[in-house]
Amino acid sequence: MSTATAAPASVSAWDRVRTYTPPSRYVPVIVTFALFLGMFGVGGLRYEGFTDPQVFLSLLLDNSFLIVLAVGMTFVILAGGIDLSVGSVLALSTVIAAKTLEMGWSPYLSVAAVLATGVLLGLLMGLLIHYFDIQPFIATLAGLFLARGLCYLISVEAIPINDPTFSDWAFKSITVGDYFIGWTSIVALLTVAVATYVLARTRFGRTVYAIGGSESSAMLMGLRVAFTKVGVYVISGFCASLGGLLFALYTSSGWSLNAVGMELDAIAAVVIGGTLLTGGRGFVIGSLLGVLVLGTIQTFISFDGTLSSWWTRIAIGVLLLVFVVIQRLATRRQR
Amino acid sequence: MADTLTRPTPETGDGPRPDRPGAVSRLLALPLIWPLLALVVLLVVNVIATPTFLNVRVQDGHLFGNPIDIIRNSAPVLLVALGMTLVIATRGIDLSVGAVAAIAAAVACTRIVAAPDESAASTAILASTAALAVCLLLGVWNGFLVAVLGIQPIIATLVLMVAGRGLAMLVTDGQITTVNNDAFSGLASGYLLGLPVAFLVALGMVGLTAVLTRRTALGMLIEAVGINPAASRLAGVRSRTIIWTVYAFAAVCAGLAGLIIAANTNSVNANSLGLWIELDAILAVVIGGTALTGGRFSLAGTLVGALLIATLVRTIPNIGIPSEANYLFKAVVVVTVCVIQSPRARAALRVRRPAVAKAGAAA
């Protein structure tokens, strides 16, 4: 910004801190972070043991799959699309993993099969959306039905996972002092880190923002619109299947009724994380914070004990509403 | 899309006939021909699998058979799709209908259970009215978010979709509420003039909507809002009121569908009642030829679409595939319909008609 360089040089350090305003693009993420801290603070005041670091670490463990889903969803929403299929693809991944392991495949082969399925489904949806001008909403709706149907075709019943290597992965954790962090949380955080790097530092990431800002402008600028637009759905499909693997590790089973409606949680997390639903603005780190906020609501309700589980859905809905309305008012003012 | 406004009004569900013999291309150009053909193909498949599939007989004073089951089961989707058609015509979408259906069922069932005389017909009527009033409020809420605050419809209705099932659980206190009221269950399992009441209710709503939209200017105003909200406002159309009305209407339709689903099982499970019905409804609307980009709608198309989905759901177990796999076939239908409708695929089809199968991959 030119105003920053034009400021007089004789301001004290305190003045600079006092008058500091963060760049407007970071404001939504900061708001979400403040909300998360605030909720944790209130929880710490109200319930004993809420501020124990292990509570935070289990938050990461219990929501690792949702974090991965939200990362994929962030790419899609940044590019101006939406992906309704992630919940079903996650369920399909758990079923494929469980079924292939039951059939005696090596766990590595099983993981590869799961990830390949996710990538393939994402690729198909991306191609439909870009080359046939089908709305993302309706194409991924077809993906939702397709993945759920495939689940049922493979197995209607839940399949337990008894593979020793798989259970080993599920329970492996790193212990620091009295606290432990599971491998699945580390995978989720690694996904966030890679996604942050890709979006901020690579040509692909910038093209994603450009397409979300204005697809026709991106096209006229000579950016690789087709590649990127299909690419975000491939990434989302990959993330959904990776999330499925984490979910299968978390529950040690595969079931076709897993994760019904989880796409809504992923979208809600992305929105609460400050990503603009019309695309072009937002950060992966915001989505991580969004998932943590959702997870904290859950923790709140389990700590309280008197509130029923359905208050989670209502609270998420209210938060979603507040953020959507704020987003709407903010974008209206800018015009 | 001006040409679509001058098409013959397809208010009747039966297939349009060519007025000149040999006009195959004219027949193929009719708007509803493809979904109707698909419906016929599905019925033929069923008859091949089970030769007695289309048999209808009279039993206990009403008609009985697979076709009757199909029209009875199509009622909830038809109702939801009816409201959705008008919402989509204004270039919107309503994702909350499944949750609204669950709330309606929850309100009606808890009120019936709480009433002093649980089995009285008046109890059922009062409870249903209260449920529909709640739905009207929810629809007004959706309309407020879309029309007044100007939030994208898909996001605005997502809020209620996320929170709605929580609200329904709140009403039923998380229990599966079972009711015992003959008048209420008659809504789903009753028969009038030999036909299922549920289908007659849905058909009545379609007829009413058809009269209101096609015999008055309302339908044209809705389409005008869908084509260009700003221009229609400048032309003196109260676009805000119209958008508000269609969301309220969609919610009431969804509520009615929820009541029928609850009456069918005499119980309400807030978690699963009407799950994914919004997707079925959108599918029915798309099959019926209403474009998701708004600006035109076909109620007859929606009727055919809902019947097609109900027939598909019936076909899957009939030809020996596990009924849960019907999602797979719905996915195939969505993709096929959308690819056929997409301008690019049509252009590819027109240029080289023989290479129909390869046109998709080459585009």
Distance from CA of B190 to the nearest CA of A (A): 32
Asked whether the beta carbons of residue A313 and residue B169 sit closer than 8 angstroms, the reply is yes
User: CB under 8 Å to A10, separation ≥6 — which residues?
Assistant: none
Asked whether the beta carbons of residue B335 and residue A128 sit closer than 8 angstroms, the reply is yes
Distance from CA of B279 to the nearest CA of A (A): 7
Those residues of chain B that have pLDDT short of 70 are 1-24, 27-31, 349-363
Are A284 and A233 in contact, with CB atoms under 8 Å apart? no
Name which of A31, A53, A26, A27 is nearest A40 in CA terms: A53
Within 10 Å of residue A33's Cβ, how many Cβ atoms? 18
- The reported pLDDT for the residue numbered B325 is 77
pLDDT band at A231 (very low <50, low <70, confident <90, very high): very high
Has residue A287 got a pLDDT over 90? yes
Identity (one letter) of the amino acid at A100? T
If you count residue pairs, one on A and one on B, with CB atoms under 8 Å apart, how many are there? Answer: 134
- The reported pLDDT for the residue numbered B23 is 66
Distance from CA of A205 to the nearest CA of B (A): 25
- The reported pLDDT for the residue numbered B232 is 85
Asked whether the beta carbons of residue A138 and residue B279 sit closer than 8 angstroms, the reply is no
Express each pLDDT in A261-273 by its tens digit: 888 899 999 998 9
Rounded Cα distance between A49 and A313, Å, is 24
- The reported pLDDT for the residue numbered A253 is 86
**A145, A308, A320 member nearest B330 (Cβ):** A145
Helix/strand number for chain B, H first, E second: 16, 6
Q: Which residues of B touch A137 (CB under 8 A)?
A: 93, 154, 292
Express each pLDDT in A4-34 by its tens digit: 544 555 677 788 777 777 777 788 888 889 8
**B151, B166, B363 member nearest A317 (Cβ):** B166
CATH 1.10.3470 fits A28-41+51-334, yes or no: yes
- The reported pLDDT for the residue numbered B257 is 94
User: Closest residue of A to B361, CA-based?
Assistant: A131
Annotated domain spans of chain A: 28-41+51-334
3-state secondary structure B144-172: HHHHHCCCCHHHHHHHHHHHHHHHHHHHH
Q: Which residues of A touch B334 (CB under 8 A)?
A: 138, 141-142, 145
- The reported pLDDT for the residue numbered B181 is 82
pLDDT band at A334 (very low <50, low <70, confident <90, very high): low
Express each pLDDT in A236-256 by its tens digit: 999 999 999 999 998 888 888
**A131, A137, A317 member nearest B363 (Cβ):** A131
Express each pLDDT in B54-86 by its tens digit: 777 777 777 778 888 888 889 999 999 999 999
- B169 interfaces chain A, CB cutoff of 8 Å: yes
Are A61 and A50 in contact, with CB atoms under 8 Å apart? no
- B335 interfaces chain A, CB cutoff of 8 Å: yes
Asked whether the beta carbons of residue A309 and residue B174 sit closer than 8 angstroms, the reply is yes
- B163 interfaces chain A, CB cutoff of 8 Å: yes
Rounded Cα distance between A46 and A38, Å, is 12
Q: Which residues of A touch B335 (CB under 8 A)?
A: 128, 139, 142
- The reported pLDDT for the residue numbered B20 is 52
Cα B100 to Cα A34, B87, B95, distances in angstroms = 33, 15, 10
pLDDT band at A226 (very low <50, low <70, confident <90, very high): very high
Question: What is the enclosing helix (H) or strand (E) of A254?
Answer: strand A253-254
Q: Which structural domains are found in chain B, ordered by start?
A: 32-320 (1.10.3470), 323-363 (no CATH)
Which is more confident, B82 or A56?
B82
Angle, CA of B299, B326 and B103, to the nearest 5°? 60
Residue to mutate among A125, A128, A138, with most B CBs inside 10 A, is: A138
Express each pLDDT in B257-312 by its tens digit: 999 999 988 888 888 888 888 888 988 998 888 877 878 888 999 999 999 999 98
Angle, CA of B264, B269 and B270, to the nearest 5°? 120
Asked whether the beta carbons of residue A312 and residue B163 sit closer than 8 angstroms, the reply is no
Has residue A123 got a pLDDT over 60? yes
